[in-house]
């Protein structure tokens, strides 16, 4: 399997896209750290599926090995939590190879009504948390002289305006430049970093939209492939980016959006 013997940390993996990624990486042979903030039940569900994904045993270096999972509570918007999460992951598995910065939040408000608290909630999780989780992994890889893979779950909104979500767009635009910058700075260490940018995916972040037939219909009109994405559509490209098949790929963004981003048609 493509990720045999690797250890991956997936932030925000108690539900949605993060949960699908954790399960997919386990299916590829990785041991997985499952991070959650406020949904321990969801994290336990992910853990069960991660363990089941590997079957009873797979071969690593001629030995029968089982897929392991480990759950860790941490708020990605809090520096101390971020550092504890990475340190606990390394202590538990003895190392960390792959970081998937998936946790993210969005808040819908007119620009003039956005509060400092909401701005901080979005920027702290979506950008500051990514920045310092990545820094903690990079220090570990540098000190142990090993290569690694960082995959950020961004959004089509790292490029595309999303009125009423100004802080969210600022965070994802920031993530785009962080990835480009780190691709250059981390290349000499053998570390690659890429973004995966989903469009509209059926997940809890979209609950309101999914329950509003009018809004949903209008959105579907904008998606050339004519459907919302599934978490698994995102997880499969993350698995590729986490594997050695993508060794020559860094600093780039992969859109998983059914064609949404570049869809413009004259009526």
Catalytic residues: 168
Q: What character string, x for contact with ligand BGC (CB under 6 A) and - otherwise, covers 205-224?
A: xx--x---------------
Q: How far is the CB of 154 from ligand BGC (least distance, A)?
A: 8
Beta bridge partners of 195: 152, 253
* Candidate ranges 47-55, 72-80, 179-187, 200-208; the one touching ligand BGC (CB under 6 A): 200-208
State which of positions 91-120 bind ligand BGC (CB under 6 A): 106
Cβ nearer to ligand BGC, comparing 74 with 228 = 228
Contacts of 153 (CB under 8 A, 6+ apart): 17, 18, 21, 100, 101, 102, 104, 195, 196, 198, 234, 238
* Closer CB to ligand BGC, 40 or 111, in the complex: 111
Integer-rounded Cα Rg, in Å, for the chain is 18
As a whole number of angstroms, the distance between CA 253 and CA 135 comes to: 20
Tokens at 117, concatenated: 């608290």
CB of 205 to ligand BGC, least distance (A): 5
Considering only 37, 49, 157, 176, the residue that binds ligand BGC (CB under 6 A) is 157
Minimum distance of ligand BGC from residue 168's CB (angstroms): 7
**Least distance (Å) between residue 104 CB and ligand BGC:** 7
Contact (Cβ atoms closer than 8 angstroms) between residue 102 and residue 17: yes
Question: Per CB under 6 A, does 200 bind ligand BGC?
Answer: yes
Please, is 267 exposed, middle or buried when counting C-beta atoms within 10 Å of its C-beta (0-12, 13-18, 19+)?
Answer: exposed
Alpha-carbon separation of residue 126 from 37, 99, 192 (angstroms)? 14, 14, 20
Contact call for residue 199 and ligand BGC (CB under 6 A) = yes
Chain residues binding ligand BGC by CB under 6 A are 106, 155-157, 162, 199-200, 205-206, 209
């Amino acid at each position: 399997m493509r990720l045999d013997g690797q250890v991956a940390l997936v932030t925000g993996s108690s539900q949605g896209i993060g949960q699908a990624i954790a399960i997919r990486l386990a299916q590829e042979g990785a041991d997985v750290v499952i991070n959650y903030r406020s949904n321990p039940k969801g994290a336990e569900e992910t853990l069960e599926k991660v363990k089941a994904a590997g079957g009873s045993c797979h071969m690593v270096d001629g030995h029968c090995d089982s897929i392991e999972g480990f759950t860790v509570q941490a708020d990605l918007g809090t520096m101390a939590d971020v550092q504890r999460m990475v340190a606990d992951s390394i202590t538990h598995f003895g190392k960390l190879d792959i970081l998937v910065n998936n946790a993210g939040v969005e808040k819908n408000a007119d620009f003039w009504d956005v509060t400092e608290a909401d701005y901080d909630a979005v920027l702290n999780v979506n950008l500051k948390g990514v920045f310092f989780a990545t820094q903690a992994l990079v220090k570990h890889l540098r000190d142990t002289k090993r290569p690694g893979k960082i995959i950020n779950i961004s959004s089509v909104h790292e490029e595309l305006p999303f009125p009423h979500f100004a802080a969210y767009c600022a965070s994802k635009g920031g993530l785009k430049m962080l990835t480009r910058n780190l691709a250059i700075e981390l290349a000499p260490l053998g570390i690659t970093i890429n973004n995966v940018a989903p469009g509209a995916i059926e997940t809890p972040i979209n609950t309101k939209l999914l329950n509003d037939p009018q809004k949903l219909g209008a959105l579907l009109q904008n998606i050339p492939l004519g459907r919302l994405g599934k978490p698994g559509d995102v997880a499969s490209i993350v698995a590729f980016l986490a594997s050695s098949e993508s060794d020559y790929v860094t600093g780039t963004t992969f859109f998983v959006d059914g064609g949404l981003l570049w869809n413009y048609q004259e009526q």
